[in-house]
Amino acid sequence: MSSDKDSVDNSNTGNSLLTFGTSPSFPAMVLPDVEGFNTFLKAKQSAYFQERAEGIREQFTALSSLAADTEFLNSVDKRFEPLVGKTYWVFESDTGGFLSIISPEEWTDRTRPSVFYGAFMLSGDGTWVRETEE
């Protein structure tokens, strides 16, 4: 049989639905450090946005360099049709820049042009990609 104390404790007052204790014998309620969490969250968000912005700056720099190289190579003299995926070399002569199938190492000393601009590869999208030395 149920006592009067049991029926008053939970069912009549609705205490059974509470997520915290209502008696002094329950553990103390500890409030979360919301300000500390907000500070942590803001620092994390700031770091994320800084990292993304730096990545975008790097992509923009690479894209600008690719555009400049492509524009330059479109202006040099080509006496053959370049093939996609093949490496070519760009030199300067008395008449201007020219695209060559001959690498700098293959030129003989007396005929080698004085200015070498670099090695480039024509990509499938029509841009000229500078090849880096490893």
19-23, 60-64, 80-84: the lowest-pLDDT one? 19-23
Domain ranges, residue 39:
33-130
Looking at the structure of the chain, the number of domains it has is 1
Q: What is the 3-state secondary structure (H, E, C) of the chain?
A: CCCHHHHHHHHHCCHHHCCCCCCCCCCCCCCCCHHHHHHHHHHHHHHHHHHHHHHHHHHHHHHHHHHHHHHHHHHCECCCCCCCCCEEEEEEECCEEEEECCCHHHCCCCCCCCEEEEEEEECCCCCEEECCCC
Considering the domain boundaries, does residue 45 fall inside one?
yes
Q: Do the domain assignments include residue 104?
A: yes
Is position 57 within any domain?
Answer: yes
The Cα-based distances of 70 to 41, 90, 123, 130 in angstroms read 43, 12, 10, 9
Question: Once rounded to an integer, what is the mean pLDDT over residues 76-96?
Answer: 92
* pLDDT, tens digit (0-9, with 9 covering 90-100), for 49-81: 999 999 999 999 999 999 999 999 999 999 999
- Asked, for residue 20, whether it belongs to a domain, the answer is no
Residue 24 resides in a domain: no
Residue 7 confidence (pLDDT): 42
Q: What is the pLDDT of residues 114-133, one digit of tens each?
A: 788 999 999 999 999 999 86
pTM: 0.64
Question: Cβ(119)–Cβ(88) under 8 Å?
Answer: yes
Q: Looking at the domain assignment, is residue 51 inside a domain? A: yes
Q: What is the radius of gyration, based on Cα positions, of the chain?
A: 36
Asked whether residue 114 is assigned to any structural domain, the reply reads: yes
